[in-house]
Amino acid sequence: MIAVEGLKKSFSRLEVLKNVSCGFEAGGVVSILGPNASGKTTLIKSILGMVIPDSGNILFKGRPVLNTFDYKSYIGYMPQIGHYPDNMQIGQLFKMVVDIRQQEASDTDLLKTFRLESMYQKTMRTLSGGTLQKVSAALAFMFSPDVLILDEPSAGLDPLAAEALKEKILAERAKGKLVLVTSHILSEADEISDHILYLFEGRIEFYKTLPDLKAETGEQKLSRALTRLLSTTPC
Ligand SMILES: Nc1ncnc2c1ncn2[C@@H]1O[C@H](COP(=O)(O)OP(=O)(O)OP(=O)(O)O)[C@@H](O)[C@H]1O
């Protein structure tokens, strides 16, 4: 579905992605893990065309994405922190997105689960951080995209909302969707992931299936498997 080939990106003199190559297939959840500043968000923003790499290629369904836009309609993106117009109401935001897409929402599960419809009159600047996250999540899933890219999706969500989002991710994966998730919450990654991609200082330290990772380390939990595997690498 997505191929990343020899991706390099620097911000001034800081090399953030150092020759990253990986592929992501449909029908699975890939958790992109790694310490702060290891390049996780830069990698997903490169896939989304929000960061322009210095070199390397990104292919979506076999076609290079650089300077193209169409492929983005197949991707639902939930940013780490959603930025929306301060004075816009939640209802206006959803209407605006539907108008821009010229397409009715085909998946309103999270709108209902998070009871956002009852908050349509609230303006974005009055929302709590967690409610903003719920809005971002509902938007990401709204048009039933083939690929979901979720940047620390449960950060700031209350436990029930985080659980609901996890269930939604698993339901979409069961439909054959590809879900890329960055996270620092290992228990959550343990429950939802098919693959773990671990970035360290802009390089892929490893990219393995979760069962392989556990078998290789002899551990049952992802957190312990990572500790064993990365005992010489700071987390
Ligand atoms: N637009 C930018 N300009 C300058 N530096 C940037 C920019 N975007 C990211 N960086 C730097 O690139 C490095 C990697 O950032 P990135 O957000 O990809 O890390 P991350 O692995 O997602 O981190 P975290 O786990 O903290 O979210 C950091 O040192 C960050 O400060």
Coil, strand or helix at 95: helix
Whether ligand 1 lies within 6 angstroms of the CB of 46 is answered as: no
Q: Identify the structural domains of the chain with CATH numbers, from first to last.
A: 2-82+145-161+168-229 (3.40.50.300)
Sheet with 63-64, side-by-side order of all strands: 14-24, 2-11, 55-60, 63-64
Query: Does pLDDT of 215 surpass 80?
Result: yes
Which residue's CA is the nearest one to ligand 1's atom 26? 36
Whether ligand 1 lies within 6 angstroms of the CB of 39 is answered as: yes
Euclidean distance between CA atoms 120 and 143, whole angstroms = 19
Q: Amino acid identity of 166?
A: K
| Ligand 1: nearest atom to the Cα of 34 | 21
Q: What is the mean pLDDT of residues 176-188?
A: 95
Strands (E), the chain: 2-11, 14-24, 28-33, 55-60, 63-64, 75-78, 147-151, 178-182, 195-200, 203-209
pLDDT band of residue 234 (cuts 50, 70, 90) is: low
Coil, strand or helix at 178: strand
pLDDT at residue 67 in the model: 85
pLDDT at residue 232 in the model: 56
Residue 201 · residue 38 · CB < 8 Å: yes
Interior angle at CA 46, CA 181 and CA 40, nearest 5: 40
Give me 230's structure tokens. Answer: 């990365």
Q: What is the mean pLDDT of residues 150-154?
A: 95
Whether ligand 1 lies within 6 angstroms of the CB of 40 is answered as: yes
Whether ligand 1 lies within 6 angstroms of the CB of 32 is answered as: no
Q: What is the mean pLDDT of residues 101-107?
A: 93
Question: What is the ipTM, given to two decimal places?
Answer: 0.98
pLDDT at residue 233 in the model: 55
| Ligand 1: nearest atom to the Cα of 43 | 18
Task: Report pLDDT digits (tens) over 9-18.
Answer: 999 999 999 9
Q: Which helix (H) or strand (E) holds 92?
A: helix 90-101
Instruction: Measure 215 CA to ligand 1 centroid, in angstroms.
Output: 32
Which residue's CA is the nearest one to ligand 1's atom 25? 36
Residue 5 · residue 56 · CB < 8 Å: yes
Euclidean distance between CA atoms 73 and 147, whole angstroms = 9
No. of helices (H) and no. of strands (E), the chain: 8, 10
